[in-house]
Amino acid sequence: MEINNQQFEIQGVPLLGLAKEYGTPLYVYDGQKILDQVQKLKQAFSTVNLKIKYATKALSNLSILKLMKKAGTGVDAVSIEEVLLCLHAGFDSAEIMYTPNCVSFDEIQHAVDLGVMINIDNIPMLEHFGSVYGGTVPICIRLNPHILAGGNAKISVGHIDSKFGISILQLKHILKIVEAHQLKVTGLHVHTGSDILDAEVFLKGAEILFDAAIAFKDLTFLDFGGGFKVAYKIGDIATDIMEVGEKVSAAFKNFCDNYGRDLEIWFEPGKFLVSECGYLLVNANVIKATPASTFVGVDSGLNHLIRPMMYDAYHGVENISRIEGPERIYTIVGYICETDTIAADRKLKEVKEGDILAIKNAGAYGFSMASNYNSRLRPAEVLILNGQHYLIRERETFDDILKHQVVLDL
Ligand code: LLP
């Protein structure tokens, strides 16, 4: 988003025009930003055989998935529905990795039938898989590296008490099952969490993966998960992707020499690829001055962007209706029947009723975590690509709220 010709624009498309044309609340995505992020990642790992498996859960709109496909990524899916979405978007089953947690074996079988690789998450599933498929279907195994890292407790998933993956301390048990069923393990996986800043965390994960990997003979790839931290506010430090690329690639090449074979290196970023591309445009419904603060009440809330409430996440806010003029401090809140503060104590250009605010970094885990709480409709989504804007999801209507309800004749 940039100011050009006295207005906020993306690729020359004025954002206020989009709010007018499609209404608010509105999710807007800058497709070029997504393509740039894919390129950055490719560049950071240009000396190794990188495969990007975009974390579908971050933003699963079909047109975004198609854009990823066009940019040359594969995908990581966490539910059978995400697997189906990815197939629907045109991904080949071989490009899809299915990383489930606590799902039924029926769902695993469904994914196998679709030709998708399974990332096995627990010992009972490994046993079950072995007894049904033996070595006929290649698998990946998700290891829990016992690394405590990530932006907050809810998104730190690689520590010893986490429900994800199989403990590296259970490696012997894994190997026994692999041996007993002659399982074909072509990949190993770790994912420590989200919002990981330090290259050293990725290196630590890599070392653990390398130590385990040497015991497996059929590997073709190692998967380092996602978790690169992006900047949410001015002055925030983001993961230095070039540094991670350089350090992890060097360690990876070294491992491949020891292993005696060139492997693929996989990453599954969500935020890195789609966080910064997204804006949630909202309308200032009410400006409410109280003895304590001045609230701007907008036509959205935790039903559309839950991150501030769920993780105390910071999202930048801009009053895109005003380029010049005085600034004031505001607390931006939603219209939900709970204290759904989107952003507290922010300096914005003076907000008038009917102004449009842009909430930044709303691409990742924005729409994909949206709900119909308070029986509100979920927003429309618009993609800007090559200087054009495209509606990629219609705004819900009241029929969507009624849909699937079975009304009793009382
Ligand atoms: N791979 C696996 C196995 C994951 O569980 C995740 C995220 C990713 C990759 C992508 O992580 P990323 O690059 O986006 O950090 N809703 C939370 C984030 C939850 C992340 C869950 N797993 C948030 O809005 O902060």
Average pLDDT over the chain, rounded to an integer: 96
Beta carbons within 8 Å of 120's beta carbon, 6+ residues apart: 126, 129, 139, 140, 141, 142, 166
pLDDT at site 88: 98
Each residue's pLDDT tens digit, 205-248: 899 999 999 999 999 999 999 999 999 998 888 989 999 999 99
Determine the pLDDT at residue 159: 81
- CATH architecture, range 2-23+278-362+364-402: Beta Barrel (2.40)
In the structure, what pLDDT confidence band is assigned to residue 269 with cuts at 50, 70 and 90? very high
Lowest mean pLDDT among 153-162, 171-180, 194-203, 267-276: 153-162
**Distance, CA 244 to ligand 1 centroid (Å)?**
18
Query: What tokens appear for 159 in the block?
Result: 């520590």
Nearest-CA neighbor of 277 among 85, 91, 61, 23? 61
β-strand partners of 128? none
Yes or no: say if 34 and 64 are a contact pair by the CB < 8 Å rule.
Answer: yes
ipTM: 0.99
Within 10 Å of residue 289's Cβ, how many Cβ atoms?
10
CA of 7 to the centre of ligand 1 (A): 34
pLDDT of 2 strictly over 90: yes
> pLDDT per residue over 20-60, tens digit each?
999 999 999 999 999 999 999 999 999 999 999 999 999 99
Identity (one letter) of the amino acid at 306? I
Among 383, 382, 402, 404, smallest CA distance to 394 is for 382
Cα of 179 vs centre of ligand 1, distance in Å, is 32
Task: Give the pLDDT band of residue 154 (cuts 50, 70, 90).
Answer: confident
Look up 337 and say whether it is catalytic: yes
Ligand 1 pocket test, pick from 51, 52, 57 with the greatest ligand atom count within 8 Å of Cβ, gives 57
> Rounded CA gap, 119 and 219, in Å?
13
Q: What is the dihedral of CA 103, 105, 107, 112, to 10 degrees?
A: 130
Q: What is the pLDDT of residues 75-108, one digit of tens each?
A: 999 999 999 999 999 999 999 999 999 999 999 9
**pLDDT per residue as tens digits for the range 336-366:** 999 999 999 999 999 999 999 999 999 999 9
Domain 31-273: homologous superfamily in CATH:
Alanine racemase (3.20.20.10)
DSSP 182: T
Q: Is 307 annotated as a binding residue?
A: yes
At residue 152, does pLDDT exceed 80?
Answer: no
Domain ranges for the chain: 2-23+278-362+364-402, 31-273
